[in-house]
């Protein structure tokens, strides 16, 4: 289960702050969803199944479903700070999606800020978790200019921590995460040049 969550992390970190249309669900993915839903029926206190569904729907740009499952995961296990980080990323993503005359300003910023604070809380509680650092890095690098939260140096620090984790234990990260690693390496270089 944990490896599947790490694998999903690779695909969704890039989409952290870029709202876009929903991505289709393949038959194989639907089978995994059904399997996770059955696990939840049998083990309703299994926060990792809720987390896996929340992360999956985040990647598919189904933010409402993502929030639903990530909030359930946090309710089941408030000490799973990786889930809190993903919940924060989903809130920030939702803040970026809100539209309309009255919700463009304060609601958008408030939800994005709440999400950012969730990720900061997760990082404060689990500073050695590389996945949380990757979520934090994605959040800052994508939203820093839109909502003015986070600092470039924080993104650089999270990137350096993730890079160190990668060097210390490269086998923990699937090759798909390396794609994100290269993308964020370029973003960090561009941030440092500004």
Q: What digits encode the pLDDT tens for the residues 107-154? A: 777 888 899 899 999 999 999 998 898 888 888 777 665 555 666 677
Which residue did the predictor score with more confidence, 191 or 127? 127
For residue 163, the model assigns a pLDDT of 77
Count other Cβ atoms within 10 Å, centred on residue 39: 17
Contact 93, 58 (CB under 8 A): yes
pLDDT beyond 80 at 70: yes
Q: What is the pLDDT of residues 55-66, one digit of tens each?
A: 999 989 899 999
Q: Which domain holds residue 36?
A: 2-193
* DSSP type of residue 22: P
CA 81, 84, 89, 92 torsion-angle sign = negative
CATH number at residue 154: 1.25.40.10
When mean pLDDT is compared across 12-21, 38-47, 156-165, 185-194, the lowest value belongs to 12-21
What digits encode the pLDDT tens for the residues 83-116?
A: 999 999 999 888 877 654 444 567 777 888 899 8
Torsion region of 150: left, alpha or beta (phi above 0 gives left; psi -120 to 50 gives alpha): left
Q: Helix, strand, coil: what percent of the chain each, to 5? A: 75, 0, 25
| Residue 62 · residue 29 · CB < 8 Å | no
Residues in the chain: 194
Give pLDDT, residue 101: 46
3-state secondary structure 134-149: HHHHHHHHHHHHHHCC
Closest CA to 62 of 28, 40, 29, 104: 29
Residue 3 CB: number of other CB atoms within 10 A?
A: 9
Mean pLDDT in residue range 3-27: 58
Q: Which residue has the higher pLDDT, 103 or 160?
A: 160
Identify the residue with better confidence: 2 or 149. Answer: 149
Split into its structural domains, the chain has a count of 1
Q: What angle do CA 133, 135, 137 make, to 5 degrees?
A: 65
């Amino acid at each position: 289960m944990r490896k599947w969550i790490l694998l999903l992390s690779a695909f969704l970190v890039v989409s952290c702050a870029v709202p876009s249309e929903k991505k289709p669900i393949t038959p194989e993915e639907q089978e995994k969803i059904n399997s996770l839903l059955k696990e939840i029926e049998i083990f309703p206190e299994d926060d990792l199944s809720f987390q896996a569904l929340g992360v999956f729907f985040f990647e598919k740009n189904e933010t409402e479903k993502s929030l639903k499952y990530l909030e359930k995961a946090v309710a089941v296990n408030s000490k799973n700070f990786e889930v809190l980080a993903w919940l924060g990323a989903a809130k920030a993503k939702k803040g970026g999606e809100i539209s309309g005359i009255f919700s463009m300003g304060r609601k958008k910023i408030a939800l994005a800020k709440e999400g950012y604070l969730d990720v900061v809380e997760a990082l404060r509680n689990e500073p050695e978790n590389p996945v949380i650092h990757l979520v934090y890095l994605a959040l800052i690098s994508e939203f820093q200019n839109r909502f003015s939260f986070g600092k470039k140096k924080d993104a650089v620090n999270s990137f350096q921590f993730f890079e160190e984790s990668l060097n210390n234990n490269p086998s923990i990260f699937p090759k798909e995460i390396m794609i994100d690693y290269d993308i964020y390496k370029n973003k960090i270089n561009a941030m440092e040049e500004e």
